[in-house]
Amino acid sequence: MSQCSFKVETYPLTQNSIGVGSNLKLFRLSWGLPGPRVFLPASVHGAEVQGNLVLYHLMKWAKENSFRGELCLAPFANPTGTTTKIGTQTYGRFNTVTGHNWNRNYHDLAKYLGAEKIQAFALKHKASSLEEIKQNFQLVLNEALDQIEKEEKNYGLKENGRLNWWLQKLSVESDIVLDLHTGPVACRYLYAPEALKESAKYLRIPYTLIVPHEFGGALDEAVFVPWTKLQEAFTKLGVNHPLLVESYTVEFGSEETISTTEAQIDLDRLLSYFHFKKIIDQAPRNEALKVAQYYGALKDYKTYYAPRGGLYEYKIKPGDRYLKGDVLASCLNFEGLNSLEKLSEQQTNLTAQQAGALINHCPSSVVGSGMELLQVMENLSMFD
């Protein structure tokens, strides 16, 4: 039996003020069998580290098990974000220089190309095979990114522009993109485009947010939006093609922590999806994957903002369901206390406006008014 091919590639990113550079490191794994190219970056938000452990276990699995296609793995995809600390906290969601969210600086290639050019491509390839369409449109997207780079080089790339450009470049060359993230204090959940709702359930993740086919700046959207626009262009010609690439944002729990026990389950979630995509022959047999799976529209993903400053105690755990009127959190604040008779007034409850499930909560109990406190899914439906 042949061995798994293992290649390491590095892509230059930024230099700091004394000339020390950082690189994006990519691992390519293949058994030499035809199949899709799957790109899995982790820690684009530097504090979201569980995905790195999952990629480690995926490499261990790939060493011993054959699979079709190629796995392109980018652990610690954002070396700057991962190593920027404030005390013990990893300040990895935003660039400390520009203030930009590291996952909101990709290019809207559908807008860059324009509807007219995409429609012309569809007309030219009306009778082409799906594989020909995919290969040729990937070339178009690659050329667009190369042109964007040339245009921006005239005046210099933004500090995090190089990282986002490379991640997008690697993504548009791929057939499947699974961008591994976590929430602040969170359960397992998933962002999936509307066209891939049925495929999403094979990741065996408890909660799935169904995302409209619109560009909001994130990597998964940067990948699927041009292809959904191409799909729409073919539909106008009376040709109904499936979405030819797949991309998701996979949220593997909470930031700043890793767990080998959970990583084994997370790996099996990926393998379940790989089995569905015919990348592997054997589906994982893990009882932990047999969970109820719910989905809901992104518009029903609601944020509760702290109504007052104070110390917050979170009354339910991420992943738990609750009913309208249930207490979600309580707040303790000593402002205005001038007698012991008013002591009970210092603790107030935040109650649910609608039934739903808690997905995320703030990682701190020290919260100012107006801060993001809870993120919840409402109007849930269950996958079949």
* Distance in angstroms (rounded) separating the CA atoms of residues 21 and 64: 35
pLDDT digits (tens, 9 = 90+) for 262-289: 999 999 999 999 999 999 999 999 999 9
Domain, as residue range, for 137: 5-291
Q: Are residues 30 and 136 in the same domain?
A: yes
Range 298-316 average pLDDT: 97
pTM, to two decimals? 0.96
Closest by Cα among 203, 249, 246, 200 to 225? 246
Q: Are residues 224 and 345 in the same domain?
A: no
The CATH number covering residue 340 comes to: 2.40.50.100
Report the number of distinct structural domains present in the chain.
2
Q: Which of 267, 291, 315 is the last residue of a domain?
A: 291
Q: Are residues 285 and 310 in the same domain?
A: no
Q: Are residues 74 and 220 in the same domain?
A: yes
Q: Are residues 215 and 349 in the same domain?
A: no
Q: Which of 261, 291, 321 is the last residue of a domain?
A: 291
**Residue 27 CA from chain centroid, whole number:** 19
Range 100-124 average pLDDT: 97
Closest by Cα among 358, 329, 255, 205 to 46? 255
Joined tokens for residue 335 = 């402002």
* Distance in angstroms (rounded) separating the CA atoms of residues 174 and 244: 11
Residue 1: which pLDDT band, with cuts at 50, 70 and 90?
low
Residue 94: which pLDDT band, with cuts at 50, 70 and 90?
very high
Q: Are residues 221 and 106 in the same domain?
A: yes
Q: Are residues 321 and 287 in the same domain?
A: no
Q: Are residues 143 and 79 in the same domain?
A: yes
The alpha carbon dihedral of 14, 16, 18, 24 has a sign of: negative
Q: Are residues 256 and 371 in the same domain?
A: no
Closest by Cα among 380, 382, 237, 202 to 298? 380
Determine the pLDDT at residue 141.
Answer: 98
Q: Are residues 187 and 255 in the same domain?
A: yes
Q: Which of 259, 291, 323 is the last residue of a domain?
A: 291
Range 214-221 average pLDDT: 97
The proportion of the chain whose per-residue pLDDT surpasses 90, expressed as a percent, equals 90
How does the average pLDDT of the chain come out, rounded? 95
Q: Are residues 221 and 118 in the same domain?
A: yes
Q: Are residues 200 and 96 in the same domain?
A: yes
DSSP 61-100: HHHHS--EEEEEEETT--HHHHH-EETTEE--SB-TTT--
The CATH number covering residue 21 comes to: 3.40.630.10
